Structures are given as C-alpha cells and as structure tokens.
Amino acid sequence: MLEYIGLGLALIHFGTPLSYYVYMKKKYFGKPWDMKREEGFKPKITVIVPTYNEAKLIEKKLDDIYAQEYPRDRLEVILIDSASSDGTLEIAEKWKEEHGEINLKIIGEDSRRGKAHSLNEALKHSTGEIVVITDADSFWGTRDSLGRAAEWFSDPSVGAVSCLKDPEGSEAPSIELGYRGYYNVLRVAESKAYSTPIFHGELASFRKDLLEEVGEFPVDIGSDDSHTATKIAAMGYRAIIPEDVLCKELVPKRGYNSWRIRRAQHLVQHFMKAMKLKVKAPKNFDRILKVEEYLHLMNPWILLGGAVLLSASAIMGSLISLIFLALGIALLMYKPYRTWISMQLYLVIAAIKNLWSRE
Ligand code: GDP
Ligand code: MN
C-alpha cells in the first residue's frame, strides 16, 4: 500500500511540471506576440545599480552600461551604494570622472538597509519614464539589451520587462544550462500567454508610474524584482520576458550551494507573499501564478514525501519500491534530472531556512 502512495506522489511530482512545460511550450512558446512593438521607441530610462561591496565588478558593470547603444540624452544612471567597505564608491566616483558624457548620479548611503530600501531611495531621484534595475554582478552582454527592453514599452499594456538568462563563468554553468532550457521556455511561454511571475535582477524594467502605484519595492522579502512584476501583472498589465532581451549572470565559483539556497529562499518568500495578494489578478495570470506557486511551494515536498514512503516500504521489503528508488538514484547520472532534483532540495531547504533567516 505504502509503495503505491509513494509512487503516486512521485508521479504527481514529475508529472505536473512536465505537463505544464509540454502544454505551455505547445500552446504559447512558438506563437507570435499579441502586442505591438514600435521599433525605435526610445523612452527616457533611468538605470539603477544598487551596490554593496562590489569593488571587483563595478567598473566592468559601468562599462557594460556605457557600451549600450541608447541615446545618452534619454539615459540616466543612478548608482546607489550602501556604505560599502571595499571602496566601491571611490571606484565609481573615479569612473565617473573619466566618463563625463554619460549622465551618472552616485548616491552614497551612510548605512546598509538592504537592496530594496536603496532602490526605493534611488527612485526618488529618478527622472525616467522607465526604470531599469540591474545587479552589479550581472552583465547584459549584447549592446542592445536596454534598447530592446525599452521598445516593448511602446505597447501601453506592457508594465514590466525582464531578460532571458545565460549563465556565465564557474564550474557550475553546465548544470545551470540544463535547467535553463526548461526554465527559459516557461518564462517566454508564460509571457506570451500573459505574464511571468519570475523576473531577473540582471535586468528588471518597470514603468515608473506603476512602481509608485504598487507601493515601490517590497523591503520585507528578497525577491523584489519578481514580486514587483507580479503585482504589476496582477493589476492587469503585462510583465514579460521576451526572447530578444538577453542578460548574463555571474554564477559564483565559491559558495555555489549557499547561493542557490539563498535564491530559492527569495523565490519561496515571493510566492508565499504572492498567495496573499489582495488584488484579483486577471484569470489568465491567476492560472500561471497558481501553477508557479504550487511548483515552488508544494511540489518539492511531494517529492520528499514520495521518497520517504518508497524508502520506508523498501526497508519493509517491497521490491517495487526498491526498483523505483534504484531507478530514481540511477537517473542522477542524467544531468537535467540531477539539476531538477537539486532545485527541489534547494527549495525544501529554503522553505525551512526561511523560518529563521530571511536574508
Ligand atoms: P543575489 O544576486 O540575489 O544573490 O544578490 P546580490 O548579493 O548579488 O545582490 C544583488 C545586487 O544588490 C548587487 O548589485 C548587490 O551589490 C546589491 N546589494 C545587495 N545588498 C545591498 C544593500 O544593502 N544596498 C545596496 N545599495 N545594494 C545592495
Ligand atoms: Mn547576484
């Protein structure tokens, strides 16, 4: 009996995301966008770069923004630093002296109160119609990322735009890539269907008036970009990740596991908070949000439950359980499966860790 419940749970765990993926890919991924994009649309943009101890990367980051093909008179950059102790601010000041042509404002806060807090502070100084948030440890890679993201705002239904991620650096990228295929297809398909509830800190852009309407960036959770995008989508605007807006993420060489857990913690915080959203989201977004909430909050535990039941019944002598457990372990040779399983573990650990540490 136990073994059948265990197998059932495993079936639900793997079957749900797989069916969702197949459905979304077939129904939406290849389909044309149902919105108009005006080429050459160049709204006034404010790029905000929050920094805390980014001395190693900050020059490269500013160079990357500088290399964007976007009219300088339509672009404002705000770097907001929270009392870094490694000289980030000084390096940025020096960079600014050497690059007079770009409109760069540098704000130095006198204490650290977190990324979202800084973003909200920077917002007060921004004059752009579109606000683009970008982490210091990320790069756009292509010189038109900013311009392409901006063009999507020519459609008035678009409230937020993020990028498709390519991992870069470290020994981990092959694992990351295996996961990205599944993940990126879903982001684009959800965007075409309506909106995606997952945004990326590499490039997260928003209409400024909507940011004000949703009450700025949430300071109580880690996933400020995804959560803000979700609130905007719930209001009836599109929050999208198009295939042509690309960005690169630096995957840390050291502390890879704790980095993944922290990321997972942020996602769990985001979806927990999204479940309590008061606004009634449009039906097509509500469906996407419910599936993603399920996938991030429930589904990992179903795998755990299944594994526990199968192990218990295997110990009690069930041959079927033993065979399926062995199969589940043998499949770990296969990279996409291994990546999937590790993500589930990260999500379970993240949910537990969120009980006492929300950083
Ligand atoms: P992760 O990518 O989610 O793991 O978070 P990071 O630690 O890479 O932080 C994302 C961005 O926010 C980076 O550019 C950091 O330098 C910046 N950041 C993190 N904490 C703070 C803070 O307290 N204040 C400011 N201004 N920026 C911060
Ligand atoms: Mn980062």
Tell me, in angstroms, the distance from the centre of ligand 2 to residue 199's CA: 13
Ligand 1 atom with minimal separation from the 117 CA: 24
Out of 49, 51, 113, give the residue to mutate to test ligand 1, the one with the largest number of ligand atoms within 8 Å of its CB. 51
Q: What is the pLDDT along the chain (359 residues), one digit of tens a residue?
A: 889 999 999 999 999 999 999 999 999 999 999 998 999 999 999 999 999 999 999 999 999 999 999 999 999 999 999 999 999 999 999 999 999 899 999 999 999 999 999 999 999 999 999 999 999 999 997 899 999 999 999 999 999 999 998 765 444 555 556 667 889 999 999 999 999 999 999 999 999 999 999 998 999 999 999 999 999 999 999 999 999 998 987 888 889 999 999 999 999 999 999 999 888 889 999 999 999 999 999 999 999 999 999 999 999 999 999 999 999 999 999 888 998 999 999 999 999 999 998 77
List the residue whose alpha carbon is closest to atom 15 of ligand 1: 51
Out of 60, 81, 82, 115, give the residue to mutate to test ligand 1, the one with the largest number of ligand atoms within 8 Å of its CB. 115
List residues near ligand 1 (CB under 6 A): 50-52, 54, 80-82, 112, 114-115, 118, 135-137, 201, 262
Any idea which ligand is nearest the CA of 225? 1
- ipTM, two decimals, is 0.98
Other Cβ atoms less than 10 A from the Cβ of 12: the count is: 15
Tell me, in angstroms, the distance from the centre of ligand 1 to residue 269's CA: 17
